[in-house]
Chain A
Amino acid sequence: MSNYSKQKFLSPAELGGFIVLAILLFVVLPLSVDDFRLNLIGKYLSYSFVAMGLVLCWGYGGILSLGQGVFFGIGGYCMAMFLKLEASSVENTAIQSTPGIPDFMDWNQLTELPWFWEPFNSLGLSLIAVILVPGLFAFLIGLAMFKRRVGGVYFAIITQAVAAILTILIVGSQGMTGGINGITDLRTLLGWDIRTDEAKVILYFVCVTFVFICLFLCQFVLRSKLGRLLVAVRDTEERVRFSGYNVDNFKIFIFTFAAMLSAIGGALFTLQVGFMSPSFVGIVPSIEMVIFCAVGGRLSLLGAVYGALAVNFAKTTLSEAIPELWLFALGGMFIAVVSIFPNGLMGLYNTYISAPVNRFYHAAVRFINKDKPVETLSEPLSEPESESTLGAK
C-alpha cells in the first residue's frame, strides 16, 4: 500500500522535536540555571499543560475556551486542600481556638471542617479529585453547551463568565476557601518537606516527566481518527454530523480532556509554588493561558511547551525590570501573533527554518545522487506535516 495510508506515531521531524525538548528540560536547564530559576521554570511548565489542552481543544477542535484557569485552579485547589490539611495537624495548630482545621477557617470562626474538605485528608482521594473534579465540571459545561449547539464566540464568552463566577465564589466564601489570599503556607507532602531546594529540584523533574507523559497522550489523541475528526469538525461541522457522528460528544470529550490536562498543571503548580489562590483562576490568567498557546503555535504540542516557557520567561524578566510594561507587552504579543504569525513560534520555525532546511537537504541529496540511476532519486519529498496538512484557516 502506498504512502497515504501509513500512520506513524511520530514523524521523524516530530521525534527530533521531542528529543530536543527532552534534552533541554532534563539536562540543559537543570545544569545551567540555579535552583531558584529552575523552580520558576517548573512553574512555567505547569502552564504548558493548559496550553497543550488548548492545542487540542482550540487549535485542532476549533473550540476556544477563555476559562481554562477554572480547571487549572480547581486542580491546584484540590492539591492545596490536601497539603493544607496535612499542614494543619492538631500539634501545628494548637494555638487556634479549634485546633486541627486550616488556620483561615479558624480566623473565620469555623469550628469544624466543611464536608467537602473531608476527602482531602487522603492523598489518594485528593489525586483522584485533581483529575475528576475539573473533568466532571468541564463535562457538565460541555454537556450543557454543546448539546444545545452553543459554540464559537458564545462558548468563549460563557467560559469566561464561568471563570469570573468561580473567582467570585472563592473570594466570597473565605471561611471555606481561604478567600482572596488563597490557600497558603503549604509545607509537607506525606511528611516530605516541599519547601527545601532539594525538594524543588525533585518536583521540577516530576513536572517535566508529567509534561512528557501528557505530550505523548495528546500525540496519541491527535494521531487517532479522533484527531482527524477534530480538524473535520473545525472546518465542516455539518458534514461530520451527516457522516454519522454525534459531533456534540466529540466536543464534550476534547473539552473535558483539555480541562483534565489543565488540572494536572494546576496540581503541579501548587506543589512547586507552595500556594494556590484565586488569582490563577479568573479571566486575566485564563486569557494569558490562551496567549501561551497562541504564541507557541496553536497547532503544535511542542509549541505549547515553548509558548508557556517563552511568555512566562518574558513576564518574569519584564516584571523584574519594568513592572508597568508587562501588560502592554502581553497585549503587543497577542496582536503580533494574530496579525503577523498566526501559527505562533512553531509556525515561524516550520516556515523559516524547517522547510528551507528540508529543501536544502533534498537538493543536496539530489546533487550528490545526480550520477546514480533514477530509482534512488524517487524518494518522496517529505515536508513537515503538521503545518501543511492541518494549517488553520
Chain B
Amino acid sequence: MSNKDFVLSVEGLTVSFDGFKAVDDLSFYVEEGEIRVIIGPNGAGKTTVLDLICGRTKSTEGSIKFRGKDLSKMTEHEIVHAGVGRKFQNPSVYEDLTVFENFELSFPRGRSVFGALGFQRDAEVLKAIEETAEMVFLQEHLGMQADLLSHGQKQWLEIGMLLIQQPSLLMLDEPVAGMSVAERKKTAELLLKITKDRSVIVIEHDMNFVADIADRVTVLHQGKVLSEGSMDHVQKDPKVIEVYLGH
C-alpha cells in the first residue's frame, strides 16, 4: 500500500530524551474518516506521539507523513495550516477572553501580523462562530469570559476552537477527562458528528467511551505498539490484558 491511501502515516518514529526512548520505532497509519483511539498505561508515550505529530516535540528519527507532507520538518503553525488540529490534555483556552473571542482568534483568517491588524468581524466570521458554538453546546455562553466556564465546557470550547479551523486531522488528548456522565455522552455524540469529514486521533482512558467511538484502537506500551485493531480484538489480546486492562 502506498502512503497516499492514508491521511497520516507514521513510520519508524523515535524520540529519545537523554537516552530514554519515549517513543521507540513506532509505526501506525490512519485512514481518511477514521476515529483512532490510542490507549496505554501511563508513560506509554501517548501524549508524546501527539506532541511529535503537531510539532511540539521534534523527533530523533523516523517520518510523519500527512497527505504527502513531512510534518517532522515543519513548525507548529505550518502544521496547523496544513490541517492538523490539537487539543491539549488540560483544557487550554484563552481564559481572559470571552468565548466569542476564543472562537474568533481560532478562525483561520488574518493569521499574519498585518492580517490580524486588519481583521474584520464580517458575516462569514459571525456565521462560523455561531455554528461552531451551537455544535459544541456553547451558543448561550458566547459573551461569557472563558475562565467562568465549567471544566467540561472548557473542553468543548477547545474542541470548538479546533473545529472552526476545519482541520482534516483532529487530535484530542483526553477529551472527556473530568466530565460528568451526561457530558461524556454529549461529547461522544459530538465526536461522531464531527468525524464525518475528517480523521480523528483520540487518547483516552475511559474504556466505555473508547468502545463508543473507536473505529480502531492502538495500544501503546513503552513507546511501542503492543496491539492494534478493533476494540474487541485488543480487549481479547492477552498482551494487552497483561500490561494494561488488567485481569
Contacts and interface: CB of A to CB of B under 8 A. Distances in A.
B116 A225 contact: yes
A249 B113 contact: yes
A236 B106 contact: no
A239 interface: yes
Given A1-B126, A236-B92, A245-B77, A221 B97 contact: no
B105 A229 contact: yes
A104 interface: no
A224 B80 CA distance: 22
A253 B80 CA distance: 21
B113 A228 contact: no
Number of chain A interface residues as a range: 35 or more
Interface string B141-163: 01101000000000000000100
A247 B116 CA distance: 12
A390 B56 CA distance: 28
Contacts of A250: 113, 116
A319 B97 CA distance: 43
Nearest to B161: A243
A231 B118 contact: no
Nearest to A238: B92
Nearest to A247: B77
Contacts of A1: 126
Nearest to A232: B94
Nearest to A388: B145
Contacts, number: 101
Interface string B105-123: 1101011110011110100
Nearest to B171: A242
Contacts of B93: 236, 239
A259 to B, nearest CB: 15
A370 interface: no
Contacts of B118: 224
B165 interface: yes
Contacts of B86: 242
B104 A228 contact: yes
Contact of B97 (A7, A232, A241, A242): A232
Contacts of B76: 241-242
A62 B98 CA distance: 19
A99 to B, nearest CB: 48
Contact of B143 (A3, A226, A388, A393): A3
Contacts of B13: none
Interface of A: 1-5, 7, 221, 224-226, 228-229, 231-232, 234-236, 238-247, 249-250, 253, 388-391, 393
The 4 closest A-B pairs by CB, nearest first: A4-B143, A244-B80, A225-B119, A226-B116
Given A3-B143, A228-B97, 6 more contacts: A7-B121, A226-B117, A236-B93, A243-B106, A388-B145, A389-B98
Interface of B: 54, 56, 75-77, 80-81, 85-86, 88, 92-98, 100-101, 104-106, 108, 110-113, 116-119, 121, 126, 129, 142-143, 145, 161, 165
